[in-house]
Amino acid sequence: MSEAGALQPPRPGETIEIAEGILWLRLPLPLRLDHVNVYLIEEEGGFAVIDTGWPDETTQAIWHSLLAGLIGRQRITRVIATHHHPDHVGNAGWLARLAEAPLLMSETEYLLTVARAAGVFEQARDTYLNFYASHGLAPAIANNLLDTIRQYGQMVTPLPPQFTALHAGAILTIGGRNFKLLHGGGHSNQQVMLHCVEEKIFFSVDQVLPDITPHIGVWPIEPDASPLGLFLASLSAIRAEIADDVLVLPGHKLPFRGLHARIAEIAAHHAAICDRIATIAASHPCNVNAINEQIFNRPLDNRNKGLAFSETLAHVNLMLRQGRLQRADDPAGKRFITTDAGSR
């Protein structure tokens, strides 16, 4: 994997033309990962926007400045939100209304944004706390995770009541370029990616990132889900369909080339974690949080401890499906993970 021409990221509020008619804008985030990449593709009448950033005053001021200055008399023609995480969809509703532009998303990501913002999952807090307790997670960490779910509506602007669905396999034409749409699961449920075959440009968003791996976690609404399985299957499909020498435009960090090598690195990273979990579980039956504390054995705040737990559970759930692990529950409802179903 190589960075595309040893690029430096654009300064706050400024853009870089990463390819003809494609502008790269970096927006700040109030998180440890302190930025998100968004892209503007020039087309007749203005620019289509891919992702919108966090809905705070700083980011919205950057958008106002961009609309008044760089874009000038041209307008935002379409707002494309790739998935429902606040760093990507956060300003989508606000920007679509401000620009009087249509919103484009995959159906699942649109509905998830609306449902989560409406607080439909908040009433199940006790059920979710019991789920976390069954895996040994401390109440303070579990409550922090559930607070994140509860606060989602504060981290996104309301979406318009109508949208255009982006379907996998469809062709979306922007500025004379034909982009084939792909969906990817694991990091989010139905994340949209865009691939221009003719010009070898791939908007990988958060599915394939350089230097870091996207968060792949299990949430209590679907406790036995295997998002890691979905994610790895998506990586295999991307590798089979998309050429290695495309320009990869990710949601974070720097654009790069060498797609296939990066996919192999990410897959190897997750395989290594699974191997470590198998070794831990072979020594004695233990709950998921005990495994998690050995995998992520470094100082973390409660938010990141919770995210780490959800990642460990994603690996455990995949290994349960593969038959590499077994679950042995005790009469009190505590869940233990082992490599031997008869050991407890």
What was the pLDDT predicted at 7? 80
What was the pLDDT predicted at 194? 99
- Answer whether residue 156 is part of any domain: no
Longest pairwise C-alpha distance within the chain:
70
What was the pLDDT predicted at 344? 40
To 10 degrees, the CA torsion angle through 199, 205, 211, 212? -160
| Per-residue model confidence as pLDDT tens digits over 25-81 | 999 999 989 999 999 999 999 999 999 999 999 999 999 999 887 666 689 999 999
What was the pLDDT predicted at 329? 79
| Per-residue model confidence as pLDDT tens digits over 273-314 | 999 999 999 988 899 999 999 999 888 999 999 999 999 999
- Answer whether residue 158 is part of any domain: no
User: What CATH number corresponds to the domain at position 100?
Assistant: 3.60.15.10
- Answer whether residue 92 is part of any domain: yes
What was the pLDDT predicted at 103? 99
DSSP 199: T
Q: Two tokens at 75? A: 């307008």
Strand ranges (DSSP E) for 34-113?
Answer: 35-43, 46-50, 75-80, 103-105
102 near 79, Cβ under 8 Å? yes
Please tell me the distance from the alpha carbon of residue 236 to that of residue 116, in angstroms, as a whole number: 30
| pLDDT < 50: residue spans in the chain | 341-344
Instruction: Give backbone dihedrals phi and psi of 217, rounded to 5 degrees, phi first.
Output: -135, 155
Measured in whole angstroms, how far is the alpha carbon of residue 108 from the centre of its chain?
14
Angle at 104 between CA 98 and CA 108, to 5 degrees: 125
- Answer whether residue 344 is part of any domain: no
Please tell me the distance from the alpha carbon of residue 313 to that of residue 317, in angstroms, as a whole number: 6
Which of 46, 40, 33 shows the shortest CA–CA distance to 14?
A: 40
3-state SS class at 175:
coil
What was the pLDDT predicted at 249? 99
What was the pLDDT predicted at 343? 44
What was the pLDDT predicted at 333? 64
The total domain count for the chain is: 1
What was the pLDDT predicted at 73? 66
- Answer whether residue 33 is part of any domain: yes
What was the pLDDT predicted at 3? 62
3-state SS class at 197:
coil
Domain range for residue 185? Answer: 2-151+163-338
